[in-house]
Amino acid sequence: MMYLFGFVLLLLTGAVVVLFAMLGELSSRVTPGSGGSPEDVRPLLDVPVGRAPERWPGPLAELAGAEQAVALVLSTACTSCAKVAGQLRDQPELVAGQHIGVVISTADRQRGDEFVAQHGLARLPSYVDEQGEWVVREFGINTSPSALVFQRGRLVSAFVFTDAAALRAAAHPAKEAV
């Protein structure tokens, strides 16, 4: 009787272990950030709204003349930036039909170039910004992942975000006239 009880107990324990394992596998297979949530996007308040940069880096020049464009600011020191870069690479629909460029803030150009290559960002207009010099000087931005929304070359809004899909949903309504 005791052995039967022990066997049944062991069987139940195994079933519980397998159940949790299945739940864990299911959870790990769900694409992270699929859809995102509004909480994943926060507005940046202390930004020079209405400012047009004195100089657009060459790779980002096409953003200057676009009716609406977004510059994503990532950093090589930021792992949440690596996540966003992975989303841009794996979900091209997030950037389809958009004027989107990527600014990679980094301590040195080599690390920036490696980041671009590692995450497949070369297919987007991308600029390696050593020391974040351009974004800091022009907009006072030293946080990533962040997004700068431009209309006809002027900054209209800026956000900090942790999910690219959530950012896309939040950035589209930004149509304030400058």
Partner 1 sequence: MSDTDERPPERSGGKTRRRILGTIGAGGLATAAAVFGRSAPAFAGNYGCCNLAFTPGSSRYIGWSSCTSYRLCPNCLGKYIWYCSKSPSMDCGCCELYSGNYNWQYSGATCYYA
Q: Is 87 or 126 the residue whose CB approaches partner 1 more closely?
A: 87
Site for partner 1 contains 101 (CB under 8 A)? no
Burial of 102 (0-12, 13-18, 19+ CB in 10 A): buried
Answer for the pair 47, 156: CB distance below 8 angstroms, yes or no.
no
- Please say which residue, 14 or 50, places its beta carbon nearer to partner 1: 14
Angle subtended at Cα 97 by Cα 123 and Cα 78, rounded to the nearest 5 degrees: 50
| Binding piece for partner 1, criterion CB under 8 A, among 16-24, 54-62, 96-104, 118-126 | 16-24
Binding status of residue 12 toward partner 1 by CB under 8 A: no
Calpha distance 57→126 (Å, rounded): 9
Interatomic CA distance for residues 123 and 125, integer angstroms: 7
**Residue with tokens 């790990």, as numbered in its chain:** 28
Beta bridge partners of 70: 100, 149
Residue 113's Cβ-count burial label (10 Å; 0-12, 13-18, 19+) is middle
CB closer to partner 1 out of 40 and 151: 40
Residues 81-100 that bind partner 1 (CB under 8 A): 81-83
Residue 75 touches partner 1, criterion: CB under 8 A: yes
Q: Would you count residue 78 as binding partner 1 (CB under 8 A)?
A: yes
Q: Residue from 72, 145, 164, 171 that binds partner 1 (CB under 8 A)?
A: 145
What is the Cα 172 distance to its own chain's centre?
15
76 binds partner 1 (CB under 8 A): yes
Residue selected from 70, 104, 105, 165 as contacting partner 1 according to rule CB under 8 A: 105
Select from 4, 5, 26, 28 the one that contacts partner 1 (CB under 8 A). 28
Q: What's the angle, vertex CA 149, arms to CA 144 and CA 154, rounded to 5?
A: 125
Would you tell me which residues interact with partner 1 (CB under 8 A)?
3, 6, 10, 13-14, 17, 20-21, 24, 27-28, 32, 39-40, 42, 75-83, 105-108, 110-111, 131-132, 142-146, 160-162
